[in-house]
Structure 1
């Protein structure tokens, strides 16, 4: 049975999440915890693997100890899938956690403990394209619609986890006020060494050149796609049905060109300009 979306504090979000909102909002972060937050399909799993490799000095075996979703739990889905809130509460500090929540919906304990937050943002057209394919696998979201209808919903923010515009701008506006490292997906693709070094410095780690290059290799799309502990192939089927579309599909920059018509591109870019004109946030929009 398809899931439903509702609106929580101005954000469109799955009823499966809001049903346990009090538990999510009251999640207790601790000193030293790291939160990786993104809008969906913006490089979340990729950044999770990079962070795990940095924190474990590039030890591939340690980083294969469990699937990504168990190593770095998804805070707003803990009531729907393992490891579950009790296990996460019992995990030793510091923990690395994941979320897709908009900045004002992040549990306040993360800010109270001045936790390090790594935010990854991806350009809008590629995000919409990737999310359209991914959303066909998400079981707690409504049944998929046509690409044309989906693009309209994306522009309005009527998709799970809300408006892309509000999400990326919300964290951008907080990055200098909070303990937030703001990373662009396009930079991860273009200059992975620079991004990984920046993330390592944020986490208080100094990487040798050899270790840096090792982490670049182990966190590459090709390596992760073939790593069952990193490619989310083991994600619970009641959450993600990957029978037709796998989680790690392309991971490319510029894939929007395979979906957008010339008219859709024109309409989208006009809408984008209006939504972003008041922000200092600028993306490298792949032409």
Structure 2
């Protein structure tokens, strides 16, 4: 029998039982892709990661190899698994910077721990690629919103810092909190228009300190904190004047799911280009255990 050490975290929060849960397999060497996918279905969280320790010299150069799985597929990049897995390695090593070698490339995560406060990690995502802009009339039919409920002062646009999200602004918090999406139709639309998922936002928020309230519907449910989408959103905010260059802002998410999350983002706008996209937050370890596999 093979035993795998598993750690479960809540990410983008400093309180257990909130934020976005993540399962981390501390040593996934020897597992096949099919086994990793089956384990992700077993944990049944939005994502499960597998740390694959390797040659120390290669890890110093490229980072620690990590693979990310949802219950349905492997992902090239995702935000909360990146932050959570880096946090586990930070706790193990004490290093202030952890580099992860993901399918999308190397992603650095830097940690600081102010006195009396939990550790805060901030990843630097890939520079954004700005894709198509979308008509409100194309998006509204697979939601319960009318065209007038969308915020037409900013564009609906697909942005990628490793995974493409279509950032879609809604005028009011009330409309966003009551939003319903036909996920099947939404995914069919995005498949033909360069996106992976929608990230719906409003400039009205629950927490007055937050710049945006966000929701992300995917597969058969909703995600309480989406770090990859938040990086795309930070890029979108900097590009379209919702946030100033290098301004640190808070995105709140997960409130409708009773899993409130706090995602801190910033991006640089220089010479009409957006670069240096950073996404950060806290993590809390909630349990440890072993998964037993038959030989």
Higher helix share: 1
Whether TM exceeds 0.5 here: the answer is no
Higher strand share: 2
Higher relative contact order (CA 8 A, sep 6+): 1
The bucket for the TM-score relative to the shorter chain is under 0.3
